[in-house]
Amino acid sequence: MAGVGVPASVCALDAVQALPRTPDRRTALGFAPGTPGLILTCLWEFQMSTYKRATLDEEELVDSMEGDAYPNGIQVNFHGSRGSRTCGAERTPVEKCLLGVTALLLVGLLACVAFLFVQYQNRPCLTESCLSVTSSILSSLDRSVDPCEDFFAYACGGWIKANPIPDGHSRWGTFNKLWEHNQAILKHLLENTTAVLSSEAERKAQRYYQSCMNETKIEELKEKPLTDRIQKLGGWNINVSLATKDFNRTLLEVVAHLHISPFFSIYVGADSKNSSCNIVQVDQSGLGLPSRDYYLNKTQNEKVLAGYLDFMVQLRMLVGEQDEASARQQMQEILDFETSLANITIPQEKRRDEEQIYHKITAGELKNLAPAVDWMPLLEAVFSPVEVNETEPVVVYAREYLEQVSSLILRTDKRILHNYMLWNLVRKGATLLDQRFQDAEEKFMEVMYGSKKACLPRWKYCVSDTDINLGFALGAMFVKATFAEDNKAVAEEMIAEIKRAFEESLAQLAWMDEETRQAAREKAEAIYDMIGYPKFIMDPQELDKVFKDYDAVADLYYENVMQFLNFSARVAADQLRKPPNRDQWSMTPPTVNAYYSPTKNVIVFPAGILQSPFYTRNNPKALNFGGIGVVVGHELTHAFDDQGREYDKGGNLRPWWKNSSVEAFKQQAECMIQQYGNYSVHGEAVNGRHTLGENIADNGGLKAAYRAYQNWVRKNGAEETLPTLGLTNDQLFFVGFAQVWCSVRTPESSHEGLVTDSHSPSRFRVIGSLSNSKAFSEHFQCRPGSPMNPRQKCEVW
């Protein structure tokens, strides 16, 4: 390894062996042609002459080894020794010859060292894993594109050409491919009923999956599981004699016992201003389409609205209506009501300041806020068997919305309200029923997302549904089958390195005052990380204890789902007023994702994402830092985005920044709002304000991960490069980051993403972050003013 004192002879030998065997290889070592002959002549003269100088004593020998250090550890003396001749003394011919040879040797040696240093920096990795990842990277690139013009097209152009959207999908990318890989593993685990399982919870997961796969029984039952519940609620188009009383009775039933959220949602969560306690929370809800924009922008969404109405009509007829005209009239009334809900629903970009939308009141005060709802019987039923009364604290996140939805309920025909609640029940239960319902859903998805019609294997739906509901039992099986425990140590080390890099950048921010900087540093140090899986799932007794009150039978899928919803509601109610469990996960182990929780100040990385292309043990560090490293940096930066920064190191929503830094942060953030707001897909602009938090996290995560990689190289030395790519490892870092986001979407899916997703489209997650990176522009030598190196760059963290 260069720089550790390798002897000159070894250095020269290694260099010669590494070069092609051509007559010119001596020149490559730094010697001029003919030099070896001169050396031999001088040495012969030296041996044959009379040496006229006194032999050096020990003190002179030590002194002759002093001098300036060179990268290979060799010391070269440029000082005269204490036994050297006096100034002006004549040298002998032999001495002159030897001095010339020494000079030539020195020049050659320095050239050798410089050559090997360069070779060391750029030596190729030829292992099987390096060749494999090189092939993958190369096939994804499009070298016809200038990386300084469009880095996403450069990094992903080849991948996009080779990966058309598969039938049945509206989007396709590296995340989808990895999830399908995980699904195949989960399928094997769920179907291997002869395997010895360590817990009853795992067997429950298998039975749940079997009930989902039992299409014979599902087809036999048809719509009956759903229509039975509709009849218990009085059926469609009932004549309401005691309007308000009947409305609240139906509302209680669908919310508390059927776990549907028409009008608003009620749930338990950590109190943002007192994160040591779980509290009742109420928020806006009730739209059948993914965003209010679909209802309000009728011209742009005409096709989707027509498709949605047709879907509603089809489902209404599948659950008992014989007359299509009547079904259409009923569903049009419901669609009109949902449009009224959309009009009073607060847009997400106006809900980003959590200090402003947080309102704590008592349960008794809800009656004054929204008098159309009989709140106390509803809350008592939702949280049974836990008792609540009018003094129960409640956090309302949609105060204005609740006031308006109450007025809307009071002035709407109660028959329409009743039908609307039944529609919510039908919409939620349709995916659990026979093929007629599946076909209707598939047809609507084709309109909504532009997916090509295809009958996807039933097992994929059932694997995903089992993971959603019994994912921790299933996760125990997944972890035991796939997760290498040393991956956890690698991830922990990388998290520590990226935290360190983030704190280093924090120290250099010019816009932040010192007091706030110190508090931010303390918050970063306090961030807790959870990797792979929650500990309890690997203890069969603990796992069984969690699922002891739930069971599944192999032939009643609809009932299994409804029983699980009841089970989940009881678990949630039991958490009321208790301290949140910091080790509780919101994602299951097989999930290909990660998250940050502000009230816990925790970052979480499930086992499902700790795989290629995000992380591979034998990959160059440049790729791992560009992959999982940026993911880590992204989640860590969420602690300091426009929402996360409002929470202190203990997870409490409170002002902990000085006003000067708050204003400076907003100015920095405004740059990103404008930058991303200027991007568009198919002529439709990205919402720079709605995506602000994710854009800050993307930019901060990239910067922290790259800085951490640089720190790693300084500590460990340069890595081998990948062969044939012609990329330095710094360039490879940025290519690896970009290729994580290679993806394609249908126009309909792109539109859906723009109006619902808090993340920018993948293309702009790459282009936006890299065009703000000075390091990227330097390593790819992008001229100032080029698309990937704009003169104005945005930076928050």
Name the strand (E) or helix (H) holding 69: strand 68-69
Give the number of other CB atoms < 10 A from CB of residue 566: 14
> CA-based diameter of the chain, in Å?
129
CA 464, chain centre distance (Å): 19
Contact 36, 42 (CB under 8 A): no
Angstrom distances, CA of residue 10 to CA of 13, 16, 18, 548, 600: 5, 10, 12, 68, 56
Angle at 474 between CA 470 and CA 480, to 5 degrees: 155
Tell whether the torsion through CA atoms of 26, 31, 32 and 36 is positive or negative: negative
Contact 576, 569 (CB under 8 A): no
CA distance 442 to 494: 42
The two tokens of residue 539 are 């203890």
Q: Which member of 150, 253, 434, 698 is catalytic?
A: 698
Q: Match 């140590």 to its residue by tokens.
A: 489
Give the number of other CB atoms < 10 A from CB of residue 729: 23
The beta strand positions in 175-273, using DSSP E, are 264-271
Is 515 designated active site?
A: no
Tell me the one-letter amino acid at 237: N
Q: Which member of 380, 635, 642, 719 is catalytic?
A: 635
The two tokens of residue 524 are 């970063």
CA 231, chain centre distance (Å): 44
Contact 273, 358 (CB under 8 A): yes
CA distance 309 to 319: 16
Tell me the one-letter amino acid at 180: E
Q: Match 């795989």 to its residue by tokens.
A: 611
CA distance 796 to 672: 8
| Cα-Cα end-to-end distance for the chain | 36
DSSP 600: T
Is 698 designated active site?
A: yes
Closest-CA residue to 561 (of 221, 115, 153):
221
Instruction: Classify burial at 793, counting beta carbons within 10 Å of its beta carbon; exposed 0-12, middle 13-18, buried 19 or more.
Output: middle
Contact 711, 501 (CB under 8 A): yes
In this structure, the strands spanning 393-396 and 274-284 are: parallel
Q: Which residue numbers are catalytic?
A: 635, 698
